[in-house]
Structure 1
């Protein structure tokens, strides 16, 4: 009498409540960073009246949103990444300008306090 070994398959992933069924992974939709761009425009307008320095990220953000709505996901990713880089640069610059402005105000205040005791 020959004994046959049963075919046993062991799943590599647990089939508990938190696991999802394996399947094709969809790439997340590209981001457009419109709110961050608007914040940069408002900050540049508030800091020195130089709102024009915040417009390039806003333009790239709007282009990314338009491409996403038209279905051009590659164009949306390209413009979205440009908007992200431009927003990072604008945010760093506006932070530096604010810090320098605060330091200058503190120096002026301290010198006037030392001259007029």
Structure 2
């Protein structure tokens, strides 16, 4: 007669390293103080809507690098990449606003010129 094998319990929790005295993960270091900003949401917005001269894309890349540095436990690197991302987001916003204003001015002047030409044409036609 065959007996059924004993069930094996598998614990799906991550190893915390307390038994061996090792740190839980090589990248999980406790950092005291506030975490540096990575500006990922602002960068996604800049990339999606205000991607003038690809500044929004560059800001997104630096935001992701900042978040990676935060995960690794390098707050100085995360802060540096975060500041770069913030500057690129500001530059993307300013350049996009300038381009938007220039487009409005061009459309307004071309509409005024078209209106004047249309009135001149109607005056000559009568």
Please tell me whether the aligned partners of residues 44 and 51 of structure 1 are also in contact (alpha carbons under 8 angstroms). no
TM-score using structure 1 length: 0.68
Greater CA radius of gyration, 1 or 2?
2
- Report the 3-state secondary structure (helix = DSSP H, G, I; strand = E; otherwise coil) of the residue aligned with 2:36: coil
Distance 1:66 1:84 in 2: 16
Please tell me whether the aligned partners of residues 60 and 79 of structure 1 are also in contact (alpha carbons under 8 angstroms). yes
Match runs of 1:26-105 below 5 Å: 27-44=33-50, 52-105=54-107
Please tell me whether the aligned partners of residues 55 and 89 of structure 2 are also in contact (alpha carbons under 8 angstroms). no
**Off by >6 Å, runs of 4+ in structure 1:** none
- Deviation, structure 1 residue 27: 3.0
- Deviation, structure 1 residue 78: 0.7
- Report the 3-state secondary structure (helix = DSSP H, G, I; strand = E; otherwise coil) of the residue aligned with 1:116: helix
Question: 1:55-113 deviations in whole A, cap 9, x for unaligned?
Answer: 11111000001111121111110100110111111110011001101110111111111
Distance 1:68 1:33 in 2: 12
The two structures, once aligned, show a CA RMSD in angstroms of: 1.7
The corresponding residue for 2:21 is none
Distance 2:83 2:55 in 1: 18
The corresponding residue for 2:18 is none
Q: Which residue among 105, 113, 116 is the counterpart of 1:114? A: 116
